[in-house]
């Protein structure tokens, strides 16, 4: 049946985190009989040289069943989220009435519908739980404040207030999706929601967009990297404390004492002080924020992808690497073990363990055959289990189930 959906998107285009990727790809892969109204802030430029919402032709990216509604502006501050929440409070009911909406799909973590009372909205709300503030705060509570990015510092400072708001948010009547089995258990334990009320629908990936076949195009896009005769280790995620960036920086000198490698850092956030960790200039390339168009290319160049996070649910960045046929080294937290079988399609290490991370990287850098075999197995896993088309189909089925129950 035809369904009209409002997608509340605190992150959209340009993408600067996993929530943004989730919304963009879910909307792009919905069947044609779903009409989607994306409600999102207009994103100002990311950093000094990053993209803004103005740089995108949305009609070229999405089909004609997708409509974009900009309600506020977003920038690299914590305040933008509160502005968006207030804009949603003022405008959501009007959009629902004007567009004859059947269901609202929100995204937790940012809680864009924090001030909305679901029982008075007239349509059901389904909320995807990517992460919880409580989980994020706990994952970095022992880190020095100097190692936290600005938004992490503010989150820690406001922790009691933010966790209180989050707990109130989860008490309101709504339907839940989370993106991993372990995520469901964590949310149930933290928020007291029975597991049977939380639907698990894994994140996906576009295996055509992310593919090892782009290696030739990648060398043209990053010519300075293509000249280097070394194994390339890629970190592509937000450069923030909870992603384990400082564990990786401490591991790199240990790796380079044993093997030759070149480390590539890409993503928005902190600019690491490499020298203070004993990492010489020739051992790394810092790219900062890179566009969505360049993501598949840098993944195709990499030999190894590393993500030493302290806390995750089901990170899309790992799926991007797996689809690109890249061996992955990651921590055994959250839903990562649901995508990575250690020794088969990647290597899992304990979080915050510098030596284990260094040893895993050394093993893959030294063993060309094992590294390539894990990369091939990683892509096979994605093709079999984790595509956005499958995620979109399962989400549509859940919408239908919810709406049928409303009759």
Other residues' Cβ atoms within 10 Å of the Cβ of residue 209: 17
The verdict on 151 and 294 lying in the same domain is: no
- Do 148 and 9 sit in the same domain of this protein? yes
Output the domain CATH number for residue 337: 3.40.50.2000
Q: String of b and e for 28-57 (b: at least 16 CB within 10 Å)?
A: bbbeeebbbbbbbbebbbbeeebbbbeebe
Alpha helices in 100-158 (DSSP H): 133-139, 150-157
Residue with tokens 């999102």: 40
The verdict on 105 and 93 lying in the same domain is: yes
- pLDDT per position as a tens digit, 193-236: 999 999 999 999 999 999 998 877 877 888 777 667 789 999 99
69 with 200, same domain?
A: yes
Give the whole-angstrom CA distance, residue 349 versus residue 358. 10
CA angle 261, 294, 22 (to 5 degrees): 105
**394 and 364 both lie in a single domain:** no
At residue 149, does pLDDT exceed 90? no
Domain boundaries, position 22: 3-204+387-406
Domain count, the chain: 2
**Do 198 and 277 reside in the same domain of the chain?**
no
Gap between the Cα atoms of 303 and 368, Å rounded: 9
Both 246 and 306 in one domain: the answer is yes
Question: Which tens digits make up the pLDDT trace of 10-40?
Answer: 889 888 778 889 999 999 999 999 999 999 9
Residue of 150, 351, 341 lying closest to 251 (CA atoms): 351
Same domain, 305 and 167: no
Among 19-33, 69-83, 181-195, 291-305, the least confident range: 69-83
Same domain, 156 and 242: no
Residues 57, 70: one domain?
A: yes
Q: Tell whether 217 and 350 lie within a shared domain.
A: yes
């Amino acid at each position: 049946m035809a369904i009209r959906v409002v997608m509340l998107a605190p992150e959209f285009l340009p993408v600067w985190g996993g929530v943004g990727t989730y919304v963009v790809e879910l909307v792009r892969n919905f069947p044609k009989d779903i009409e989607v109204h994306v409600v999102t802030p207009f994103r100002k430029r990311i950093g000094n040289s990053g993209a803004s919402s103005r740089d995108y032709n949305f009609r070229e990216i999405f089909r004609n069943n997708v409509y974009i509604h900009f309600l506020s502006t977003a920038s690299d501050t914590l305040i933008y989220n509160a502005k968006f929440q207030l804009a949603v409070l003022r405008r959501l009911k009007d959009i629902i009435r004007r567009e004859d909406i059947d269901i609202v799909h929100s995204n937790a973590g940012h809680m864009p519908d924090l001030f909305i009372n679901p029982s008075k909205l007239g349509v059901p709300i389904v909320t995807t739980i990517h992460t919880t503030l409580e989980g994020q705060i706990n994952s970095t509570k022992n880190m020095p404040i100097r190692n936290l990015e600005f938004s992490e510092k503010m989150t820690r400072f406001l922790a009691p207030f933010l966790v209180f708001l989050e707990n109130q948010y989860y008490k309101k009547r709504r339907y839940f999706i989370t993106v991993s089995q372990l995520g469901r258990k964590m949310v149930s334990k933290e928020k007291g929601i029975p597991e049977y009320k939380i639907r698990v629908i894994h994140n996906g990936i576009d295996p055509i967009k992310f593919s090892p076949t782009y290696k030739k195009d990648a060398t043209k896009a990053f010519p300075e990297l293509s000249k280097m005769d070394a194994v390339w280790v890629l970190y592509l995620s937000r450069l923030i404390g909870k992603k384990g960036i400082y564990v990786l920086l401490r591991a790199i000198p240990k790796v380079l004492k044993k093997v030759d490698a070149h480390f590539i850092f890409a993503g928005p956030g902190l600019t690491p002080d490499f020298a203070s960790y004993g990492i010489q200039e020739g051992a790394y390339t810092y790219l900062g924020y890179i566009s969505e168009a360049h993501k598949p290319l840098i993944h195709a160049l990499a030999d190894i992808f590393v993500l030493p996070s302290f806390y995750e649910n089901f990170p899309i960045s790992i799926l991007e690497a797996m689809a690109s046929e890249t061996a992955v080294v990651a921590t055994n937290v959250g839903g990562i073990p649901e995508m990575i079988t250690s020794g088969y399609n990647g290597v899992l290490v304990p979080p915050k363990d510098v030596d284990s991370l260094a040893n895993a990287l050394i093993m893959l850098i030294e063993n060309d055959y094992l590294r390539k075999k894990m990369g091939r197995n990683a892509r096979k896993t994605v093709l079999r289990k984790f595509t956005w088309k499958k995620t979109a189909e399962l989400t549509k089925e859940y919408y239908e189930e919810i709406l049928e129950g409303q009759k």
